[in-house]
Amino acid sequence: MAPVAQTDSSSSEYYQLVNSIKPDYITISEYIFLRIYQLGIRSVFGVPGDFNLNFLEHLYDVEGLDWVGCCNELNSAYACDGYTKTCDKMSVMVTTYGVGELSALAGVAGMYSEYSPMLHIVGTSALSMKNSNKRMHHLLSGSNTYGSPDHFVYEETATKYSCVQGSIRDDAMEACDTVDHVIREIHRHLRPGYLFLPCDLTEMRVPVSRLDEPLGSEYEPQNFVKAGTVVDTILQRVYASQNMAVLVDYFTGRCKMTGALGVLLDKLAGKTNVFDTFMGKGIVSEDVSGYVGTYQAGMDNEQLAGVLEDADLVLHLGAFDVEMNSGLFTSKLATERVISMNIDSVVVCGEIYTDLNMRDVFEQLVARLEGERVAASKKYAVEPYLRSSGANALNLVDLSNKLESTLTADDVLIVDTGSFMFGMGTLKLHGARFVNQCLWAAIGFAIPATLGACIAKREMGSNGRVITVEGDGAAEMTLQELASLVRYGLDPVVYILNNDGYTIERVIKGPYRSYNDIATNWNWTQMVTCFGGEKPGTRISNRQDLAQLQYQRGLHLVELIVPKFDVPQSLSNMVIRSKSKS
C-alpha cells in the first residue's frame, strides 16, 4: 500500500490519499507503522523473531518505511540512539519477546538516562497464552517448575527503564488509544517508551479514520502565566547582573531550543562570555561572539573554568547535572548565582520550579529580553589551548589535530567512551554535531551508533559524513555492526584506536593486568572486506601519514597504532586527583 502523507495531514490531499487507497479498517500493525510514518520517521531498526514476524509483515504495507536489520538487539538500541541524536527524531526499534527485548535493555537504559526518545515495540506471546499456564520458549521460568508462568515479567522490568508502557489488548479502540498515548508520552518526556504487541493481535482491525488526527511531535508550552512570572524574575536577575555568562548544555539540543538560543546569542553578541559543557558541545559554534570554551571545572583548563566561576550570574541553558558533564564533581558554580533550566524544571538561584521546564520559559525569555539592558561582562585573557603531540609516536593529539582540521558543519562526530573522549573538551567542532553516550558510558556504543547516524543522515538527505572514533576494546564489543554499514552501503569514516586493550581502565587500575587485555593481533584493516565490503581499511602508524590521509568514498576504516598508555591530559589529571583522594 502507498504511504499516508506525512506533512499537512489535515489537508484535503491527505483525505484524498487515504480514501483512495484505504478501506475503512486497517490492521493495528499497519496503524502503528502509519503513526510512525506520520511523524516523519522513515527507518525502523531491530531484529526479527518468532513473536514479531506477523507485525513486521505489515511494515511492507507502508511504502517509504524501511527496515534496518541489526546484527543483535543491543546494537540495535545503540543504532537507535545514534539515529535520534543525529536527527532529533524519535527512533523506532522492534524486538521479540524476552530474549530480544532483554538483550536490548542496557541500550534502552542508556537512552532513558540520556533522554533519547525511542519507541520500542516488542512482539510478545499471544494474548491467548498470556493467561494460560503453558510454558514456552523465550518465557522466563518462574520461581518453580510447576506454577503458572508470568507472561508479564518483562513488561514489569521495562517500567524502570522507560517513561511509558502500553500493552495492547483485544479492544480495537483501546489499542489505538494505547499506541497514541505511548507515542505522545515519548515526545513529552523525550525518553524510550514500550509498546507490547501480542503476536495473535497483529491483524486486529482498527478504523483508519483514527489517523486523521496526527500526533504532533512538538511540545506545546504549558502554564503560560506562571512561566511569564518566572521570566520576569529571571529578567530582573539578568538586568541586575554585572558579569553574566551563558553556559550551553545538553537539553538545549534535546528540547529543540537551538533556534531560540541563536536569537539569544545574537541579542547578547559581544556582551557575554559563552561556554558550553561536555554534553552540550556542538550546540553552539566555537565561532560565536564571546565563546570562551568548554567548562570542565577542575578537570582540565582551570584558567578557563575560573572565568565562568567568576561570573555573578550564570544562565545555564539545558542543564544536565551529572558527574561526567560537570567536571567529575569539581564544579564550583554556586547555586545562588545560577539560573538553570532543562527538560523538567527551572531553577532560579536556588528556587526550583518543577511544574515548568525549559520549553515553557525559554522562548518567552528570549523574546522578551532587551539586549541593551544587559551589562557587558568582563573580558578575561584566557591563553589559547595549545595541543602538543610531542616528538614521539603517533598519539591521540594527532587525531585531535586531524579532526579539528577536517571537520565541517555537515559532519557528525561520534566518539565512544574511552581515553579519547576525555580530550574532547578542547576540540573545536566547527559546527559538526557531536554524538556520544558519555553519561551512560557503555563502551561499544560507537559502531552501532554510526549505523544509526548514517541512516539518519541519509533520511535527512544531508551532506557531510559521519566520523567515528573508538578504542579497540570498545569496538570489539559490538564489532559485527560494521557488517551493517557494508550491507546498507553507508559511508562513515571509522577510526579504530589500536592501543592493545582497555587503556582507560589501565590508567585507573591494573596497567599490566590480564583483565585489561583483549584478544590481540586482529587484522583490523581486513575486517571490512571480511564483512563483504569492497575496500580494506587503512593502517596508520605515524603522524605524517595521518595528516595526509584522504578519506575514501564509502565505508573507510582507519586503524591508528597508538601507544598503550597514551591518554589525554584531562584523563591523567582525573586519575591523579582521584588517587590522591583515596
Name which of residues 509 to 568 contact its own copies (CB under 8 A).
509-510, 513-523, 526-527, 529-532
Instruction: Read off the amino acid at residue 495.
Output: Y
Size, binding site for its own copies by CB under 8 A: 97
| 571 near its own copies (CB under 8 A) | no
For position 185 contacting its own copies by CB under 8 A, the verdict is: no
* DSSP designation for 404: H
Nearest-5° Cα angle at 334, 333 to 335: 115
What is the per-residue binding string for its own copies in 401-430, x denoting contact by CB under 8 A? ------------------------------
Alpha carbon distance 396, 423 (integer Å)? 8
Nearer to its own copies, 59 or 432 (CB): 59
- Cβ–Cβ under 8 Å, residues 497 and 447: no
The smaller minimum CB distance to its own copies, of residues 150 and 404, is found at 150
- For residue 10, the minimal CB distance to its own copies (Å) is 32
Q: Does 356 bind its own copies (CB under 8 A)?
A: no
Min dist. Cβ of residue 582 to its own copies (A) = 8
Please tell me the distance from the alpha carbon of residue 227 to that of residue 365, in angstroms, as a whole number.
9
Given candidates 14, 33, 37, 161, which one binds its own copies under the rule CB under 8 A? 161
What does the alpha-carbon distance between residue 256 and residue 48 come to, in Å, rounded to a whole number?
A: 33
Question: Of 217 and 436, which CB lies nearer to its own copies in the complex structure?
Answer: 436
Does 164 interact with its own copies (rule: CB under 8 A)? no
Residue range at the interface with its own copies (CB under 8 A); choices 9-17, 177-185, 480-488, 554-562: 480-488
Is 499 marked within a binding site?
Answer: yes
Alpha helices for 43-130 (secondary structure H): 53-57, 73-87, 99-103, 105-113, 127-130
**Choice between 76 and 273, CB closer to its own copies:** 76
Residue with cell 609516536: 393
By CB under 8 A, tell whether 341 contacts its own copies: no
Residue 329 in contact with its own copies, rule: CB under 8 A = yes
Point out which residues pair with 470 in neighbouring strands: 496
Residues 38-42: contacts with CB under 8 Å, at least 24 apart? 38/4, 38/6, 38/9, 38/211, 38/214, 38/215, 39/6, 39/89, 39/90, 39/183, 39/215, 39/217, 40/6, 40/7, 40/89, 40/217, 41/65, 41/89, 41/90, 41/91, 41/92, 42/66, 42/459
- The distance of closest approach from Cβ of residue 478 to its own copies in the complex, given in angstroms and rounded to an integer, is 7
Residues 482-511 binding its own copies (CB under 8 A) are: 483-484, 486-487, 502, 505, 508-510
Ligand-binding site membership of 472 (annotated): yes
Distance CA 470, CA 48 (A): 28
The CA distance from 170 to 534, in Å, is 49
Site for its own copies in 11-70 (CB under 8 A): 48-50, 53-54, 56-57, 59-60, 67, 69
Provide the mask over 107-146, with x wherever binding to its own copies is found by CB under 8 A and - wherever it is not.
--xx-xxxx------------------xxxxxxxx-xxxx
The answer to whether 231 touches 364, Cβ cutoff 8 Å, is yes
Closest CA to 6 of 64, 68, 56, 93: 64
**Which one of 178-186, 224-232, 314-322, 406-414 is the stretch in contact with its own copies (CB under 8 A)?**
314-322
Instruction: Report strand pairing: 351-353 vs 346-348.
Output: antiparallel
Nearest distance in Å: CB 377, its own copies: 27
List the one residue out of 259, 295, 210 whose CA is nearest residue 88: 259
Q: Give the shortest CB-294-to-its own copies separation in angstroms.
A: 18
In the complex with its own copies, which residue's Cβ is closer, 268 or 299?
299
Q: Output the known binding site for Mg(2+).
A: 472, 499, 501
Residues of each annotated binding site: 472, 499, 501
